[in-house]
Structures are given as structure tokens and as C-alpha cells.
Structure 1
Amino acid sequence: MKSSLTQISKPSSFLSALLLLTVTATADDRLNVLMIAVDDLRPELACYEAPYIHSPNIDRLARQGVRFDRAYCQVAVCGASRASLLSGCRPETTGCWNFSTLLRSKMPDVLTLPQHFKQNGYETTFFGKVYHSPKDDAESWTLNASDWAPQQRGKGHSYLKDYSDDVPQPQKTNNQKVQPKAGPSIENGGDVADERYVDGHIAERAAKVIERFADHDKPFFFAVGFIKPHLPFNAPAKYWDLYDRSSIEIPPRKDVVDGVPYGNSTWGELKNYPDIPKNVEFLDDDKTRELIHGYRAAVSFTDAQVGKLLDALERSGQREKTIVILWGDHGWYVGDFGDWCKHTNYEIATRVPLIVSAPGLDPNRSTRSMAEFVDVFPTLCEMTGLEVPSHCQGKSLTPILVDPSATIKPAAFSQYLRNQPGVGSMRGTSIRTERFRYTEWRNMKTGELDAIELIDFDNDPGATVNVAAKPEYESYLPGLAELCAKSKTGT
């Protein structure tokens, strides 16, 4: 039986847990879904207790719904993270570990989230970065959004200036070849309209699509993916002006976890930008502040674009029949421990913002219950009354949406691969519990356990000490190891 969320009035405990009603929904009154994906957005927003960040629109969405304070991605890299969320499967099932592997190249027959909605009568479409590649999962979309809102000349640029004379030839740094980018790591675009940049134009076009849906005869599943605050940190001047660079504090540069050879972050793609010094251990304070300033400006720029989508929903009269879910694809190091980008199993790389708002849900609530990206697929199914496909390896978050104190799982699970010189490919498998982050590093070929990391957040909230070898923690290790093994398949 399909159902509507628009009338919730203390249903039975079973129905409450599933967030379903006894009201049968027809195709006309099924809830729409607006899914907003944001690249490299860490949970550093005003609504996540970071008042120095200007994020009024995401804050508005949080006040309208439930904010998940302990949500985690499955892999801290964009392509693999999105593959897990949109398939409902963990990385050992998807086979996607990096940014470039297409989900359909590994799981050609998997029923994806948008495809499932398509098969159940929804109009499905997207703008921007939803999968890492727009070529992935082409069969899941019923509508080319560009047919309703085509790109306009002079809008949607990555850079507004020509930096071709400033880009050096490829070189090597720390035995890694640098592939120069088209411009610097930051750009203050000056007094220009948001639409001059890619995300501004995506928001402009997406708002038109939302308004068109108001007169459409099908419910919609519309995914909109914003690229910022991904590098380069480019935004109009008004978003840079929201922050005082001189007041930005430099994060401690102490190594993220001592004594473990595989976990530390690299600089990722940051090293490819021509304004980034080569072969230095840490960026100096001035460059660090400049990049943090740029990241925050890009966050506020994207926040404004989120606001345009919410405004379009309200303006078109569809807000009261639309689920809105916003997520960042993984965390991001912004100078934390001297590191940049993501590419680890640690808290900063794997923890993500996740906000869900829907008609009938009590607003302005938060939860510390564990949640994972693989949970999004079954959650949206239950919220719209669709069957949850049997291949999904997550659990529905609907009990938490009804009661934020509810718990559906003891831990959140993440993985990352690391090539270690002289050792080979190592796979880090990590779980985050209420108190601990436990990580096993195993050789990909032999399966042999090589290293264990254990972070005790109760005693080390900064996550800088590996306590796995300390005698007082020996009794915790067997249970955490068992939980880690089960988490790989979602059991």
C-alpha cells in the first residue's frame, strides 16, 4: 500500500517507526522529492554549531526538518560516495573506490534510487553533479532538464578570468605528477551576478524546472548537484565580503593520528593548482587563511543557490508536498592537521551534513543517532510509500525522523584504499560508534591485518592518538572487530 506523509497524528508504534499512514496515496498526491547534493561540503555550517559561517538558507532547511549530527559517507571520495548513496550499496558491493569508476561499469543491472522512482511513475531528472559523471546511470532519468531550462550564453563559467599565462608545465612533486589546473585555487569574481558561475546558473535553471513541475501531472524526483565548495574556491565578491580573513584561526598542524602509516591525508588535487607551493610540508599561515577564506565564501555562495531552490518550491506552491533532502558527499580538510581535501577514513573526511525535511515531520530537530549514506535509498522509499529493493544494504532513517532519540544501528561504516610503497594496496575499514572510531588496515591481496587504529573520542576529541595498543583498551577490540566485519555488508 502506498501512503502519504501529509497527515501524521500519533499513529501506532509500527506505523510511526515506518513513517507511514493508513491513508492510501494516489499518483496525484504522492510526495515529490528534491534531493540537493553539495560537493565537498563538510558539516561546518551555522546550523551545525559553527556560527561564524554564513549559511542562512541551509539553516532555514534545518529549521524545517531534522538535522543529522552523526551522518557518514561510505567512501571519502566523490564518485564512490555518490555510487554508494544512489545504489544503496556499500563499496565492497559497488566496486567503486575512486572518483572515476562509473557505477554502471561495475553494477550494470543495479536498480538505482532515481531508477526506482522512475519505475514507480515519477518524473526523474537532474541538474549539476549528482553522480560524478553525468554519463553514469543515464537510464534512470525520464526527462532531460535542459529541455525545460537550457543553458544560456555568457553564464555558467568555472573561472571568470583567463589565467592561461599563469599555468606552468606539468612537474613532479614528492614523486607525484602534477596536472596543472586552468587557474588558481581561488578566485574573487568581483561584482558579478551569481549566474556567471556554474552553480549560480544551475540554480537559476533548476528553479525554472521546479516551477514547471507545478503544472505537471506526475510527482517528481529532482536531483540538483552543486559543485562548490569544491576547488577552486571561486565566488562573487559579496560572498568573500562576508568574512574577515584576519580573524580566521589556523588549525593545529599536528598529525591526525600518530603511529599509523596509511591513514594520513594527502593534499589531493590542491597540489595541482599553480598558486600552491610545491614540496612543502605545510602551507604557510597566509596561504592557509586565504584558502579557508575561499572555502567559506564558496560555502556561502552555494548556500544562496540552495535558497533559490527552496524559494522556487514555495513560490510554486509545492513545498507542502515535497520532501527535501540535502547532503554533502563527504567531509573535507580545510587545513586541519595541515591537511587538505579528503581521502581518509577519519572523522573529518567521513562525517557529512545530512538534513531531511518533509510535510508532516515536526520541524527544527536534530539527532545524534548514527546514519550512513546507504540509508538514504530505503528512507526515501518508505517516506514515499515505495517498496525498499532487496539489494539495499542500509536501513531506513524514518524511525529517527519520527523520534530523533531512536537508534537504528550501533555504528557507521566507511572504507578507503591506500597504495603503500613496498607494501601494496591497503584497504582501511572503519566504524564510528558512540565512543570510538575503530579502523582495520588489511592487505588487499592477502587479506592480512596490518594495522589497527582506535580513537577514543571521550578522552581524545581531537582524534590525534591511536590507543589500540594500550592495555586498558584490549577488552574493547574483539567486539569492535566483530562489528567492523558485520558492517561491511550491512548485517
Structure 2
Amino acid sequence: MHALRPRCLFLGLICLFCSVPMSASAQETSPPKPLNVLMIAVDDLRPELGCYGKSYMHSPNIDRLAASGMRFDRAYCQVAVCGASRASLMSGCRPETTQCWNFKTLLRSQMPDVLTLPQHLSRNGYETGFLGKVYHSASDDAAAWTVDANEWAPRDRSKGKSYVQELPRKRNPANSSEKNGPSIENGGDVPDSAYTDGHNADRAVALLERFSTQDKPFFLAVGFLKPHLPFNAPAKYWDLYDRDDIKIPSREDVVDGLPYARSSWGELKNYTDIPAKTDMLDDEKTRELIHGYRAAVSYMDAQVGKVLNALEANGQRENTIVVLWGDHGWYVGDFGDWCKHTNYEIATRVPLIVSAPGVPAGETKSLVELVDLFPTLCELTELPVPEHCQGKSIAGVVHDPGLSVRPAAFSQYKKSKLGVGPVLGTSIRTDRFRYTEYVSTKTGKLEDIVLIDFDKDPGATRNVASDPAYQPFLPQLHAWCEQSATGL
């Protein structure tokens, strides 16, 4: 019996040692799992949402996302057209570098070797996948994605339609004048999945469930089409709004003497219920379209809610950065105008929300650009920022809304001036001004300038560039405009 005592004592000491916590230096700690990234891209979404102070809008899901992160009140796209805007954001390069100026030009046709955001994340251990409209074309940047969404979450061909009524789906190739169908559709009592965004939201839920079983961090980009034309949504979203309460926007025109600087709104004229030869819609049609736009926003918002709910249900929310952005703004009768395709505030200002673990809720008036998202997500995920990125990380602003990263934000758009030909409009938004220069792409000659003073003219109805009182401001604004290729 006595012979067993040393062994018992030894075992007792081991047990005692194991029960005492080791010092921090002695403990082996595993590194924290990298943060996931859920990026939600929305087409034609202006910052007309509840969280942006528009109480008449029904956007509860985007509003709750904003309540958990940083809302940017002065975020601007690089080009007010979807393809070019997305190419800039995803590459981290400005349009003068991408040379993508319209919706047709693929990023990879101009920059075959550029390291894109999803490609950078995949090379650093992320699973990357997308659904819906992220680039303008689903084939652009195909090599950047490690997950085929069609394999993980196959599309159901009986769902996800553009129209749910018996209407033309495609133009007849033999008749180039045939139009798409009407600009709006109240879909009636149909499920959300009857339309494209609803079906893609369900597929995104399936992807998130699959990602939750993976060891790797993920980057999932979900692109919602609405509120892009046509303004189609189930009836319950139309019922959220009373058309009689809709106010007609001011039709006072901001672009004094510059008719080419307006949107041509040819995009809207592609629909059967819009006259081909008109420069102004009547009040009845204006209200109908605004009603449709708002219904489409609320429909899209509900799909955002499904995706956020899935993220929370899978236990992924606390380890995921969620970013929601609009690719550009949209005119809904403002100044009598429609669509985008301009250099001005309504076309270029976008909603941007960044919600990340450890980030307090807040809002900021710091001037930021969509090209900033690539370096920002690098910093938030603790990855190096590639040298080619031309934006600035706004991760500091995400944590501190009082910070500022630049004195002005750039936006550009190419138009055609009668008698001159193509002109490149370069616009900068400062705290006080929007300053735009129109330069001939053939001669390099400065053709026109527009200056809006938001302090004195918040409705942006007067071009004061020729007013002597503003001449002292012009040299600095011009000097900043000259730096459009690299940014400030």
C-alpha cells in the first residue's frame, strides 16, 4: 500500500497542475477565423430609404442593416451606368484606367490581367461565389469565383421571371422597333420567387447554408435587379403605397443651357407604355412610375431581409462583414428627368452601408467613392491592399464617422454635344459644391462648366459658374478636377 503512495502523489500533482489556468504566454491560442464578406449590390437604387430619412419608404430590412453599421450619406459612384460603375468597384480602378464607360464593355476585355476583389480574396483562402447581377455580364471575371452557384443552388426555370403576366419576354430579332413590354407590372398575388430577385434570394439562402458547413471564410456577392426597370413586383408591395399621396418632383431644370447634359432617358423609352417622342411625362404617368419604383424598392428590401435572416440563423452574422451598395442613382421625374446617365447629384449619389463586427452603428458625411470599397474590404479582412487600387480605404471612417479621407468625390460620364461630338464630363462633389467640366475627347478643349452651390441652392436648380461671386472658387475646383485619373 505504501508503495503506491508516490504514484498517487504524482498523479495528484498532475491533476492539480491541470486544474490551474496557464498563463497567457503558455497557452497555445489559435488565430481567429477570418471574417466572411457578404456584399449586396442593388441596381438603380437611390438613397431614398427609411434609414436615409425618407419615412414614407418601406425599407425595414435595409434600415435594420443600417442600424447595425455605418451609413454613408455622401457616397458616390464613378460612372452613372451599371456596367462601368461595377467594373470600377470590382477592379479598384477608376474609369480612366478601366476604360469602361458604358454598360456593354466587359472589364476583362479592357483589363484582362487586373486583380479583382473576388480574385484577391480567393487567392487568400476565401471561397468566392455570386448570384444575380454583380458585374453587368455574368460572364465577366469568371475565373474569380471558386463556387458555381448553379451547382450549389440550381435555378428553377419555373421561377424568377421578369414578368409574370402574359407579356413579351424578348424582343423579336426581326423587328428592331419592338419594345420590351410595359414599364411596370403589378404581379398580383404571386410569391416573391415568381420574380428574379425573389428566386435569387432563396438561392442565396441555400448558398449561405452551404457556406456555414465549410471551413474556409466566404465572399458572397448577391446582386438584386430591382428597382431597375421594369418596375415589377407582387401586389403586396404596391399596396404599401397610396398613389394619391405621391408628390410630383420639381421640374425646374438644373442644367441651364446644356441640353446634352440631361439624361436622354432612352432606357425608359424602351417600354411599350412610354411615348418614343416626348421630353416630359404627365402627372398621372409620373405618379404611376414613382409608385412602381417604390414598390420595386420594397420588394427588393424584402429579399435583402431573407438573406440577412439566413446569415443570422446560420450563426454567421457575428463573423461577417455585410456591405450594401447601389451602383448609381436614378431620376424619378426629378427636374422632369428619368433614368441616370448624367454627372449630377441624383445620378451619382448612392446608398452605402458597411456593417462589420465590432463596428458601432452610426452615420457619416465623409465624402467617399465606390472605388474605395476594394481597399476597405482588404483592411477590414486584414489582407494587403493591392498596389493597383486607386481608391482609399474608408475602414477608418467605418469606425469613426468624423474622419475624412478626401476633399472631393469624383464621378464621370461621356455625352455628345451637338457640333462638338463626344465630351467627357468630370464632376466633383465637395462639402459645398458640385463642379462639372465638359471636355472634348477629340480636342481636349474645355467646352462647358457647371457649378452648383448646395449651401444656397439645396435643390440644385441654378448653374452659378458664370456668377462673378464664385470666380474665386473655380481655380481650386479646376485643379482638383484635373486629378480625376488618380483621385484625391
TM-score (norm 2): 0.92
Aligned equivalents of 2:169, 2:382: Cα separation in 1: 56
Which residue number corresponds to residue 456 of structure 1?
453
Shift >2 Å, 4+ stretches: 163-171, 178-182, 259-262
Task: State the secondary structure of the residue aligned to 2:41.
Answer: strand
Cα distance between partner residues in 1 of 2:419 and 2:33: 59
Count residues in correspondence: 461
Query: What is the root-mean-square deviation in Å for CA atoms of aligned residues?
Result: 1.8
Cα deviations by residue, 1:312-362 (Å, 9 ceiling, x for unpaired):
000000000000000010000001111110000000000000000011111
Q: Which has the larger radius of gyration?
A: 2
Q: Deviations over 1:106-128 (max 9, x none)?
A: 00100000000011010000000
- Equivalent residue, structure 1, for 2:282: 284
2:185 and 2:260 mapped to 1: Cα distance?
Answer: 33
Q: Does 1:387 align with 2:391?
A: no
Residue 254 of structure 2 is matched in structure 1 by 256
The answer to whether residue 67 in structure 2 is matched with residue 69 in structure 1 is: no
In the TM superposition, what are the counterparts of 1:88-487 in structure 2 within 5 Å? 88-164=92-168, 179-363=177-361, 365-487=362-484
- Against the structure 1 CA distance between its residues 290 and 483, is the aligned structure 2 distance closer, same or farther, given a 3 Å change threshold? same
* Contact 1:199/1:228, CA 8 A, preserved across alignment: yes
Q: Is the 8 A contact 1:268 1:343 kept in 2?
A: no
Q: Give the residue type in structure 1 aligned to 2:193.
A: E
Alignment match, 1:16: none
Q: 1:179 to 1:43 in 2, by over 3 A?
A: farther
Query: Within 1, Cα distance between the matches of 2:418 and 2:146?
Result: 46
Equivalent position amino acid for 1:349 in 2: A
Residue-by-residue CA offset, 1:246-272 (whole Å, 9 max, x unaligned): 110011112122122432111131001
Quote the offset at 1:179 in angstroms.
4.7
Give the Cα separation in 1 of the matches to 2:220 and 2:243. Answer: 37
Is the Cα contact below 8 Å between 1:167 and 1:274 reproduced in 2? no
Q: 1:80 to 1:25 in 2, by over 3 A?
A: farther
Query: What's the CA shift string for 1:11-46, capped at 9, x where partnerless?
Result: xxxxxxxxxxxxx984x6000000000000000000
Q: Could you tell me which amino acid in structure 2 is paired with residue 467 of structure 1?
A: V
Structure 1 residue identity aligned to 2:370: F
The yes-or-no answer on 1:86 pairing with 2:90 is yes
- 1:37-94: CA deviation from partner (whole Å, max 9, x where unpaired): 0000000000001000000000000001000000000000000000010011110000
Opposite residue 130 of structure 1, the aligned amino acid is V
SS at match of 1:293: helix
C-alpha contact 2:160 2:197 (8 A) present in aligned 1: yes
Structure 1 residues not aligned, in runs of 5+: 1-23, 172-177
Give the match for residue 46 of structure 2. Answer: 42
Letter aligned with residue 113 of structure 1:
L
| C-alpha distance in 2 between matches for 1:279 and 1:170 | 23
Tell me how far apart the structure 1 counterparts of residues 157 and 174 of structure 2 sit (CA, whole Å): 32
Identical columns (%): 68
Seen in structure 2, the aligned counterparts of structure 1 residues 166 and 278 have a Cα distance that, compared at 3 Å, is farther
* Structure 2 residue identity aligned to 1:465: R
Stretches of structure 2 that go unaligned for 5 or more consecutive residues are: 1-28
Closer, same or farther: CA 479–339 of 1 in aligned 2, 3 Å: same
TM-score, normalising length from structure 1?
0.91
User: Distance in 1 between the 2:339 and 2:184 partners?
Assistant: 14
Q: Confirm or deny: 8 A CA contact 1:199 1:227 kept in the other structure.
A: yes
The superposition leaves residues 193-213 of structure 1 with CA deviations (integer Å, 9 ceiling, x where unpaired) of: 000100000000001100111
Q: Is the 8 A contact 1:251 1:335 kept in 2?
A: yes
Distance 1:165 1:150 in 2: 22
Given that residues 426 and 484 in structure 2 are in contact (C-alpha distance below 8 angstroms), is that contact kept between their aligned partners in structure 1?
A: no
Paired with 2:433 and 2:472, the residues of 1 have a C-alpha distance of 13
